[in-house]
Amino acid sequence: MAEINKEIIRDLSTPELIDRIDEERTLLRKKKFAHAVSPIENPNEITILRRNVARLLTELRRRQLAEKA
């Protein structure tokens, strides 16, 4: 699991960005559940996924504000 690069996020179109947010949230939910049932090998993956979701949401919000301005 790797962190998403800022350049990669900015290159995504808005619909792709929304799809990516859904995918990352789903993966995060699955990892959290798997970790609750039995400890996963690398619990830092949860932190990385949470940060990726935050980065994607930040970019989406930036675009929404830019449209309004």
Distance between CA 69 and CA 54 in Å, rounded?
23
> What's the number of CA atoms in the CB half-sphere (13 Å) around residue 52?
23
Q: Domains in the chain, start-ordered, CATH in brackets?
A: 6-68 (1.10.287)
**pLDDT tens by residue, the chain, 69 residues:** 788 899 999 999 999 999 999 999 999 999 999 999 999 999 999 999 999 999 999 999 999 999 998
According to DSSP, residue 43 is labeled T
Interaxial angle between packed helices 44-68 and 14-37, expressed in degrees from 0 to 180 and rounded to the nearest 10? 150
